Amino acid sequence: MRSRHLRLGVNVDHVATVRNARGGRYPDPVRAALLAEQAGADGITAHLREDRRHIVDDDIQHLMRDLKVPLNFEMAATDEMVGIAVRHKPHAACLVPEKREERTTEGGLDAAGGHNHLAPVVKRLKDAGIRVSLFIEADPRQLDAAVKLGAPVVEIHTGAYCEAEDVATRARELERIVKAAAHAEEIGLECHAGHGLTFDTVAPVAAIPTIVELNIGHFLIGEAIFGGLESVIKRMRALMDKARSDAVGRRSA
Ligand code: PXP
């Protein structure tokens, strides 16, 4: 699947991180989500973690009530989270691996090795009308496993690309993403990507024609301290749009 328009999903988890540092209600991730919507986000992503370290249950309820754009509910494949997803019926649910001691989602889901555990979770979410995506490494084996699980969407982990410390490693990691995104199209999966993306790293990923959505959070929320959330989102949107239209132009030249 290809699209000229590359969707931007804004992840508001870290607005909640700042709120929870003090307790209380400020800053409100729902207010940030509504502002992101106005600034050009095509969707909002929120991860309800088992330990509720940032987003809490009420945030999900308020996001479902107030958002006009789709909510992508990031979740671990647990009974508790499936129950919450099925109750709220967000547009999409992205299954991620979750470890209590990690600071952020460190790696992709093992869709191949976890088939027996994941299959009933994917089925319950799909039966509830939720579009299921699996957050996986740029590995063809994991993409093939997503198809076997019946997931229509994958989100490719861009962390290794973003965190690469030298040019050669970054180029190698980008190539893995390019190949995985092409493979996704061949086997009929919708392809998203995200994790660690910044103004400096977004363009080469945005240029990949078979990626239709990027989910970006930490950098946008951090950068908003300096530039304001609206202008930071607009700048990210503009960088994504330019990279995509330049790439379309190069291919048709
Ligand atoms: N996509 C997924 C599945 C994630 O787990 C995260 C991090 O919560 C993101 C995208 C966004 O990553 P970042 O906050 O580094 O932009």
pTM exceeds cut of 0.75: yes
Give 189 Cα–ligand 1 centroid separation in angstroms: 20
- Atom index in ligand 1 nearest the CA of residue 196 equals 15
Give 217 Cα–ligand 1 centroid separation in angstroms: 6
> 14, 37, 54, 74: which one is catalytic?
74
Known active-site residue 91: no
**Pocket flag, ligand 1, residue 169 (CB < 6 Å):** no
CB 101 within 8 A of CB 61: no
pLDDT at 103: 72
Residue nearest to atom 7 of ligand 1 (CA): 195
pLDDT at 1: 66
Cβ-based neighbour number of residue 2 at 10 Å: 11
What is the three-class DSSP state of 203? helix
Known active-site residue 47: yes
User: To 5 degrees, how large is the angle CA 174–CA 175–CA 180?
Assistant: 100
pLDDT at 106: 72
pLDDT at 100: 66
**Pocket flag, ligand 1, residue 155 (CB < 6 Å):** yes
Give 253 Cα–ligand 1 centroid separation in angstroms: 34
Give 252 Cα–ligand 1 centroid separation in angstroms: 32
Known active-site residue 195: yes
CB 10 within 8 A of CB 197: no
The number of helices, as runs of H, and strands, as runs of E, in the chain is 11, 8
From first to last of the 253 residues of the chain, give the pLDDT tens digit. 677 789 999 999 999 999 999 999 999 999 999 999 999 999 999 999 999 999 999 999 999 999 999 999 999 999 999 999 999 999 999 999 977 666 766 789 999 999 999 999 999 999 999 999 999 999 999 999 999 999 999 999 999 999 999 999 999 999 999 999 999 999 999 999 999 999 999 999 999 999 999 999 999 999 999 999 999 999 999 999 999 999 988 887 7
**Pocket flag, ligand 1, residue 194 (CB < 6 Å):** yes
Residue nearest to atom 12 of ligand 1 (CA): 195
> 47, 54, 88, 183: which one is catalytic?
47
Give 195 Cα–ligand 1 centroid separation in angstroms: 4
**CB-count exposure of residue 79 (10 Å: 0-12, 13-18, 19+):** exposed
pLDDT at 108: 93
- Full set of structural domains in the chain with CATH: 7-252 (3.20.20.70)
Give the burial string for 111-147 (b: 16+ CB within 10 Å, else e): bbebeeebeebbebbbebebbbbbbbbbbeebbebbe
Residues forming a β-bridge with 43: 9
Residue nearest to atom 5 of ligand 1 (CA): 105
Residues forming a β-bridge with 156: 136, 193
Q: Rounded to whole angstroms, how far apart are CA atoms 19 and 27?
A: 5
